[in-house]
Structure 1
Amino acid sequence: MGFSVCCSSSLWLNLNLTQQCRFIKIAGNQKRAEDLKITGNFRKAQTQSTRSICCKLQGTDFEERTSPAEVKKEIEKCYELIERLGRGVVYLGSARLGAEHPHFVRSFELAKGIASLLDATTWSGAGPGLMDAVTKGALEAGKPVGGFKIGKEAGQWTATDVHPYLPLDSYLMCRFFSARKHGLVDAGVRAVSSDRTAFVALPGGIGTLDEVFEVSALIQLERIGSMLPVPFLVMNYDSFYSKMLGFIDDCEGWGTVSKGEVTSLWRVCNTNAEALAYLAEYYGLPDTEGYMSIDQLGEDDKTVSSSVKIDVQ
């Protein structure tokens, strides 16, 4: 039996194997064996024919990406940063929505309120957009901030690896996306009962949705919250996530997920006040009044966004 192997030298090797196969047929108490012998000749390698297709590796340098030691080293740096700054609330959200967007203002106020309520470190991708909003909100509350940056955000490569205003020792510039994911997940895991952590999904695009379903899967598989449960909030500002939630309902109808299986993994909040009240109840904290200076709802954003000072430098 012959088969061909495509080599980097664009030659085909036709290999023929000689193998003896024994087939045994059992009928009652009788056994009959028949030998089937397949023979062939080992033919010399010949030049690839015009009908053959041979795929060659391009001259791409994969040395950096194939080094597990480098990835491991970066993950360890993420863990060291978390150990130093403390676990806390991890925000997932769009890098594209600027300070003029109403969701930026709401995210700023939410992070400010949660940081004060839980007295915990605020974590994010330390990038632009809503990540910038939660960073500034936590700083406004006077609470610690940490982050895991990546080279490309909102479809654009960053001009510099240095954050515009955060201290260098409060964030890590990640080369490997897998290391960044490890950091963002670990920052929200409760190590001891006194830890007050959470995952908060703000409006976002493909990257945010990837993180939302990753966290959901880890909670479902008890990779997060196996010992100490962690709240996961989905901020449904202006019904942003309503169609996604409708898709989950469709999945239940098709039978790809069990009824209530996904919705049990998170808490959907339409307003910042709902989110704060839920976290206060979750951790048995006092009334949330005073932790939220503004709760933007619908059309109120148009008037609020111009009156809230969010330029923290």
Structure 2
Amino acid sequence: MEQLKEEDKIKKAFKERDWAEIKSADSWVVFKVISEFVEGFEKLAKIGPCVTIFGSARTKSDNHYYQVAEAISGKLVRHGYGVITGGGPGIMEAGNKGAHTEKGKSVGLNILLPFEQFNNVYIDPDKLITFDYFFVRKVMFTKYSQGFIVLPGGFGTLDELFEALTLIQTKKIGRFPIVLVGKEYWSGLIDWIKDVVLQQNANINEEDLNLFALVDTAEEAVAVIDNFYSKYLLSPNY
């Protein structure tokens, strides 16, 4: 069944459509995209300073990184920040759970997927938004976050990490801190970036390596956020 669905999608991409079909289908997509932007802007405009936690939906509650994510979000709340996650299970659940336990703002930007993703129970009811479109959801992450903490994850987590890095590198958003948690997990990727992307091919500048920090503990992760804003004499104020 799944294979047939994939084949239908591929065949549809090569099928010629008349103008009426194009106008009808694409117009509804535009309206849906606009509605998602409007809902996101309205719900998130007043949430105050928040840090986004990224990570895998597949991480179980007995996993070390689940526990680290929960500890990070709890500390962030105690330091005055709200927490934003992708709203699903795994690391996202841990992030919302830590914020909820400490009675802080717990935001979930959920995405409709055919598998894996469902919203967790630790999100504030008025701060849960469910998206159809990844690109709208990513705009909300980057527009309303004052920092990004990235725990181990798969393609989705890597996508979110490099989206944030690209927007900061190109100065499309402010120079917000990005923290990678888990030296063992991330070291191979960072070595490749240094050796292949930078040194062998010069596809980034050396100073781009300063766009992120690599840590192992919840204390270190939150300290990076605190130290970054202390340079500007800024602190959260709810």
Relative contact order: is structure 1 or structure 2 higher (C-alpha 8 Å, sep ≥ 6)? 2
The answer to whether the aligner puts 1:199 opposite 2:148 as a matched pair is yes
Partner of 2:179: 233
CA contact (8 A) 1:248 1:262 kept: no
Q: What amino acid sits opposite 1:253 in the alignment?
A: Q
Match of 1:245 in 2: 190
Classify the secondary structure of the residue corresponding to 1:63: helix
Of residues 65-74 and 169-178 in structure 1, the stretch that sits farther from structure 2 once superposed is: 65-74
TM-fit CA distance, 1:115: 1.9
1:80 matched to which residue of 2? 42
Question: In 2 relative to 1, CA 234–65 (structure 1 residues): closer, same or farther, beyond 3 Å?
Answer: farther
Q: CA deviation at 1:72?
A: 1.7
Which position in structure 2 is the counterpart of 1:56? 15
The percent of aligned pairs where both chains have the same amino acid is: 25
Q: 1:288-307 to 2 correspondence within 5 Å? A: none
2:111/2:117 contact within 8 Å kept: no
**Match status 1:268 vs 2:227:** no
Unaligned stretches of 5+ residues in structure 1: 1-54, 189-196, 286-313
Residue 293 (structure 1) aligns with:
none
Rate the CA distance shift 1:216–1:90 in 2: closer, same or farther, 3 A: same
Cα deviation 1:115-155 (Å, max 9, x = unaligned): 211x12110111000000010011122211112101128x4
Encode CA deviations 1:8-50: one digit per residue, 9 max, x unaligned: xxxxxxxxxxxxxxxxxxxxxxxxxxxxxxxxxxxxxxxxxxx
Matched, 1:122 2:79: no
Alpha carbons 2:83, 2:99 under 8 Å: kept: yes
Structure with the bigger percentage of helix: 2
RMSD over aligned CA atoms reads 2.5
Change (3 A) 1:165 1:230: closer
For structure 2, the residue ranges without an aligned partner over 5 or more in a row are 1-13, 232-238
Larger Rg: 1
CA deviation after TM superposition for structure 1 residue 68, in Å: 1.7
- Which residue identity does 1:172 align to in structure 2? I
Indicate yes or no: 2:132 matched with 1:175.
Answer: yes
- Taking structure 2 as the reference length, the TM-score comes to 0.81
After the TM superposition, which residues 89-238 of structure 1 pair with which residues of structure 2 at under 5 Å, given as runs? 89-117=51-79, 119-152=80-113, 155-156=115-116, 158=118, 163-188=120-145, 197-225=146-174, 229-235=175-181, 237-238=182-183
Aligned length: 214
User: CA offsets per residue over residues 168-205 of structure 1, 9 Å max, x none?
Assistant: 311111122221111111111xxxxxxxx211111110
SS of 2:46's equivalent?
Answer: helix
SS of the equivalent of 2:25 reads coil
Per-residue deviation, residues 30-89 of structure 1 (Å, max 9, x unmatched): xxxxxxxxxxxxxxxxxxxxxxxxx5349x998268622320221121111111323410
- TM-score calculated relative to the size of structure 1: 0.62
Counterpart residue number, 1:39? none
